[in-house]
Structure 1
């Protein structure tokens, strides 16, 4: 009897076989997919992608609620990017509307039609932050900007400190996107909105951490070749750091401060900051 080690074929797992059946019978079971837990639902969509069923995959991921659900499967976020890129490439080939544009238009429509109920506004804001972050990661910046602009408009008139803090987060992310493709006039408006929100929050006694926001200000001024202001804001960003500051944004703050130091010919300071970035990055990678 041949040993298992020399077999050229191994049977798939029961789970993978079940996924194959779901994909083959997709039209019959598609309306039932949302009763699955998000990780299982994601695996079905990824199997559609692997099997080349891009039309069915597009139908699923064009739904804003389905995408938001899939973003909860954080350990497979990179695979979701693979699916989206395939759909973007297909749209480019057949001259159809990009899926990122469909999603941003759907979100803006929801914002225009939302009621004044605070819970609905909160849920819509959180959805906008999640989806725009995903789009920005892949470089689909115009659509991310549209979502964040609509998201910001939902919170613009709020006087509640918690809502103003979320509005400031929207400004921070919007500024990051606008910096990403040099939308300087729009970035200037976002900068002014953020500064007004900071003053309003401080007047209300709230103390949000402003390190990442100040670092984004530094990036804006650096892109506009105002190196003195870029350096000044990078110093303020470092001064806002606290001991338990999250590691990924900490790396971003330190990197931007190092760039600003180089532009001001503060090479020793830049070297120290980069060494800190390398050490923190090593610690993160060793824990994964």
Structure 2
């Protein structure tokens, strides 16, 4: 008897009532809808907990009811969980609600009840919040439908300010769904709405940080990194301007600027921003919120790119755990987290050959994306690429030739499909397409198709160098790969040596003497010198490799123990005003701009071999080669570094604006009454190299 009483007491009176209502929901449904909204939510959540998802789907399909649930802000994550559980049952509830809203918006517009502003305002507000919820949950197509209908209604009723905010959200939706033409069109619409705002509401304080951030994210997705960098900087600058900026916008602006600085190799600036974004997201939203997981994904991206792979892995693992907790299984955000973790695991275990975990995450990402996206969606290109890389490494390590050929063939098909999707979306002259060329080059090397491998690698190098400059990490990566091809398979040791030296020079310039990728270049050089009988050089690089091991071991011994330590360390540094972080950021990028060598490629016709082997033309290096009888063995790593870090003439003089004021970005900014940012750098005047 006592045990039974304790069992009953363990469940609160409220919980008992909710269970009774859930068990008899059909009987109590009408009465439930008369309760306060918070209690209605509690009843519906109990339906979710009891697994009565068909009943819950029926309730949530009512636009009025679901819209009320969106107002219960404190239980947003519970709403996401229950909504995703319904979607996982293959009940397309988001499509039903989006269709219902679109019809309601159309009916109100056609009724022409201009004197009833409440109907317009409430429907517009409903569309804005409903579209935002779908966007948070990753149901981009349904979000687009709702927000598009909302914009039409806004413009019909001359609600330009609300239309502008809807357009910003729709930009995010289109970009997340890889609809890049629509993104461009919507940005033009934003410019038109802004002009109307200035005409009819000249005194309104409108902050443009969110709009600039979304347009920068669009350029980042297309690998147009210079443009993404420009827009991200302008978005950060807008955070200090008048007008309301939400905490979500503030965090997302810092996130984009982080990614843009990482690809521009401005790591110090990126670190300032991403650590503050992580701190803000956890302080504002909590450690189990999707926004916090997104900042951890960006932190993982930063850590991976600064060669802190083990900590990057932990950031991605934590981000995935949060997203699985909030969204469950068949969700776009979960798939993206699986993909990023798959790649980080692949990099982390590259030297060990243990790819089971990486392959598992890649398979999960592809399974989810295949289920929820159209067959040829661009997002599949990246997941297929990651799986193809993993399969190739597993094949290489296998001693079973039949199994090896099977995996290589599967990897080939995945790479070709990814290449097709990238070419259709971006064309050939794009960084993403170049990566696919490079991946095919590696695969063809594994398949012993050496001439095709060489062709793919040279294509990748040519595109990357044109778009990113000769000293970028991506260029060094491809140079190292083709050096491996020449060294291990084509026995062209002189070519391989020159390429290894160039790869080493770029890597050390970007990451220092302890960069993980240097191991493979050093090992390659040792093999070359052994084959050529240059034992002095072989011993020299064997010693350099041993020094590299010492540096790596020192890093491991001094590294923080885990992500928790890393985040705790971040807390101590970042508990300061965001304005201070922004000021520090601009000081950092100004300093980086002043110090960084310009990645300028001289205007002359160069073949892909010129690009791969020489980088920018350097007269002194050419003279050195001539004096040494074109013997590459006499050109040391220091000469290789200098020949690939500066053109034959460098430009230094007084300071001038780093960004031009008449390019397309500056013209676009002026349409928003924003004068382009002036970051000072060296004015470029040609002088001869010493």
TM-score range, shorter chain: 0.7 to 0.9
Give the alignment's Cα RMSD to 1 decimal: 2.5
TM-score by length of structure 2 reads: 0.38
For the residues of structure 1 that align with 2:125 and 2:262, how far apart are their CA atoms?
A: 37
How far apart are 1:139 and its partner, in Å? 0.9
Alignment of 1:247 onto 2:247: yes
Q: Encode CA deviations 1:247-272: one digit per residue, 9 max, x unaligned.
A: 33211101111211222333332222
What number of residue pairs does the alignment pair up?
278
Superposed counterparts of 1:31-70, under 5 Å: 31-70=30-69
Counterparts of 2:64 and 2:156, CA distance in 1:
26
Report the Cα distance in structure 1 between the residues aligned to 2:20 and 2:226, rounded to whole angstroms.
Answer: 62
* C-alpha contact (below 8 Å) 1:254/1:273 kept by paired residues: yes
Tell me if the contact between 2:207 and 2:245 (Cα under 8 Å) persists in the aligned partners.
Answer: no
Asked if the contact 1:211/1:240 (under 8 Å) is kept, the reply is yes
Go from structure 1 to structure 2 and tell me whether the alpha carbon gap of 1:287 and 1:41 turns closer, same or farther (over 3 Å shift). Answer: same
Provide the C-alpha distance between the structure 1 equivalents of 2:250 and 2:106, rounded to a whole number of angstroms: 36
Query: Cα distance, 1:55 vs. partner?
Result: 2.1
**Pick from 174, 178, 181: which aligns with 2:177?**
181
Identify which of 212, 215, 224 aligns with 1:214: 212
SS state of the match for residue 9, structure 1? helix
1-side partners of 2:99 and 2:285: how far apart?
38
CA distance in 1, matches of 2:223, 2:215: 13
**1:86-126 alpha-carbon deviations (Å, 9 max, x no partner):** 21122x2xxxx511110011011111111333221111111
Whole-angstrom distance in 2 between the partners of 1:282 and 1:65: 32
**Given the alignment, which residue of 99, 103, 107 partners 1:109?**
103
Measure, in 2, the Cα distance between the counterparts of 1:99 and 1:153.
Answer: 23
- In structure 1, C-alpha distance between the alignment counterparts of 2:286 and 2:40, rounded to whole Å: 31
Residue range with higher mean Cα deviation, 221-230 or 64-73: 221-230
Contact persistence 2:120–2:157 (CA under 8 A): no
Which residues of structure 2 form unaligned runs of 5+?
Answer: 289-690
| CA distance 1:268–1:130, change in 2 (3 Å) | same
What SS is found at the alignment partner of 1:235?
helix
CA drift of 1:10 comes to: 4.2
Q: Quick one: structure 1 residues 246 and 170, their matched pair in 2 at CA, closer, same or farther if it must change by over 3 Å?
A: closer
- Aligned partners of 2:284, 2:43: CA distance in 1, in Å? 31
- Write the deviation string for residues 132-161 of structure 1: whole angstroms up to 9, x where unpaired: 1111111111111100011111122454xx
User: In 2 relative to 1, CA 278–111 (structure 1 residues): closer, same or farther, beyond 3 Å?
Assistant: closer
Q: 1:208 to 1:79 in 2, by over 3 A?
A: same
The equivalent of 2:168 in structure 1 is: 172
Q: Is the 8 A contact 1:201 1:207 kept in 2?
A: no
Preserved CA contact (<8 Å) 1:71 1:130: yes
- In the alignment, which residue of structure 2 is the partner of 1:132? 131
Greater displacement, 51-60 / 200-209 = 200-209
Aligned mates of 1:249, 1:72 — CA distance in 2: 20
1:1-288 alignment, distance < 5 Å: 9-11=7-9, 12-90=11-89, 92=90, 98-114=92-108, 115-116=111-112, 117-159=116-158, 163-204=159-200, 205=202, 206-242=204-240, 245-281=245-281, 283-284=283-284
How many angstroms apart in 2 are the aligned matches of 1:202 and 1:43?
A: 44
Q: Deviations over 1:204-244 (max 9, x none)?
A: 41331111111111001111222222112112111211387
SS class of match (2:240): coil
Matched residue of 2:135: which SS?
Answer: helix
Q: 1:42 to 1:113 in 2, by over 3 A?
A: same
The 3 A distance-change label for structure 1 pair 211 and 87 is same
The alpha-carbon distance between structure 1 residues 175 and 287, as it changes in their structure 2 partners (threshold 3 A), is closer
Q: Higher mean Cα deviation, 263-272 or 248-257?
A: 263-272
Say if 1:46 and 1:286 are closer, same or farther in 2 by CA, change over 3 A: closer
Shift in Å, 1:275 = 3.3
Which of 1 and 2 has greater Rg? 2
Distance 1:154 1:146 in 2: 13
